[in-house]
């Protein structure tokens, strides 16, 4: 069993390769019900952005472990009236066993983690989406049997999901190629961190050319062109990102057995066509389901469920 007792997960780089491997193994066993774990703990969900998958998958995972969940929507707490993060963190620390936070700035998450002694999980920030990428790796492992040396091609915006994919691929020995328009590359510090984490199994390519990124790839991945908080830029981004759409042409350049992933929600006709997301290569529904299994493994490991 993975031993993440009491740990925070603020970035995917908070885990090492062995811990990722153990979490995926534990998630696989929980999914097949070879493993049943219980813990009588309370999870708080403090989400400043919308969420369907993350909110529901964390909640169901915690209920299935025998725990409880409190939805701490900022609009029904004093957070929306300006109570400082430092104060909220120290108070929630006294009530809860673990806290999952979805917010804008990674720095805010880090302040929470500094002021709260309980474990804090990144449920998405502008910088990273580590729980998503753990589920993505589980989905890829289920499809290909193993992870090392596969090539993932991410085409689109160099956003939070792209950043966590860089770290995730480096940790498991996968190649990653990211194609974005100029000026929309992933975070430079994350690229450097992924390069530092990578061993000789992983090659990292950041390019402006979606065809180069996609050629022969085993996994084709995309996400929205404007993330939460960037809605005002959405229409300006549309023509810039058009050549980065995952469509039948791009898919035809990938390996014939390639799978297509999208963290969802998807904007059909923008970053991905309806044909491709509904087509035989798409694994997006398994990918969404796997959020629940991997987060159950994560909660169980951090909380010491038995």
Residues that bind ligand NVA (CB under 6 A): 124, 159-161, 223-224, 227-228, 263
Q: Is residue 263 among the annotated active site residues?
A: yes
Find the shortest distance in angstroms from Cβ 273 to ligand CP. 19
Alpha helices, H only, 187-247: 188-197, 210-214, 234-241
Identify the residue among 28, 48, 51, 122 touching ligand CP (CB under 6 A): 51
The answer to whether 180 and 208 are in contact (CB under 8 A) is: yes
Binds 283: which of ligand NVA, ligand CP, none (CB < 5-8 Å by kind)? none
Tell me how far, at minimum, the Cβ of 159 lies from ligand NVA, in Å.
4
Residue 240 binds ligand CP (CB under 6 A): no
Binding-residue total with ligand CP (CB under 6 A): 8
Beta-carbon contacts of 159 under 8 Å, excluding residues fewer than 6 positions away, are 126, 186, 223, 224, 227
The Cα–Cα gap between 31 and 19 comes to 18
Q: Which of 11, 125, 132, 214 binds ligand CP (CB under 6 A)?
A: 132
* Residue 51 or 163 with smaller CB distance to ligand CP: 51
Choosing from 39, 53, 263, 287, the catalytic residue is: 263
Q: Which does 224 bind (CB under 5 to 8 A by kind): ligand CP, ligand NVA, none?
A: ligand NVA
Q: Are 240 and 181 in contact (CB under 8 A)?
A: yes
- How far is 125 from 111, CA to CA, in rounded Å? 13
Footprint of ligand CP (CB under 6 A)? 51-54, 124, 132, 263-264
Active site residues: 102, 129, 132, 223, 263, 291
């Amino acid at each position: 069993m993975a031993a993440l007792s009491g740990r925070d997960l603020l970035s995917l780089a908070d885990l090492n390769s062995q811990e990722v491997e153990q979490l995926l193994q534990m998630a696989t066993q929980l999914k097949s019900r070879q493993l049943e774990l219980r813990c009588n703990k309370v999870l708080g969900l403090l989400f400043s952005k919308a969420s369907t998958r993350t909110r529901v998958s964390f909640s169901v995972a915690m209920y299935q472990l025998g725990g409880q969940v409190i939805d701490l929507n900022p609009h029904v707490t004093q957070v929306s009236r300006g109570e400082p993060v430092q104060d909220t963190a120290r108070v929630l620390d006294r009530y809860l066993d673990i806290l999952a936070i979805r917010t804008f700035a990674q720095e805010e998450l880090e302040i929470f983690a500094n002021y709260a002694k309980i474990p804090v999980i990144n449920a998405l920030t502008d910088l990273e989406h580590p729980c998503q990428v753990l589920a993505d790796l589980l989905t890829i492992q289920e499809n290909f049997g193993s992870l090392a040396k596969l090539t993932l091609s991410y085409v689109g915006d160099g956003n939070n999901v792209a950043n966590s994919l860089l770290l995730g691929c480096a940790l498991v020995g996968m190649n990653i190629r990211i194609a974005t328009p100029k000026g929309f590359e992933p975070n430079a510090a994350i690229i450097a961190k992924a390069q530092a984490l990578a061993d000789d199994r992983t090659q990292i390519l950041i390019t402006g050319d979606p065809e180069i990124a996609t050629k022969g790839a085993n996994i084709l991945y995309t996400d929205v062109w404007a993330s939460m908080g960037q809605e005002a830029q959405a229409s300006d981004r549309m023509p810039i990102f058009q050549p980065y759409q995952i469509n039948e042409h791009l898919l035809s350049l990938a390996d014939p057995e390639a799978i297509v992933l999208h963290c969802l929600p998807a904007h059909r006709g923008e970053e991905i066509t309806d044909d491709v997301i509904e087509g035989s290569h798409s694994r997006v529904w398994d990918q969404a389901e796997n959020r629940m299994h991997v987060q159950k493994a994560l909660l169980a490991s951090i909380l010491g469920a038995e």
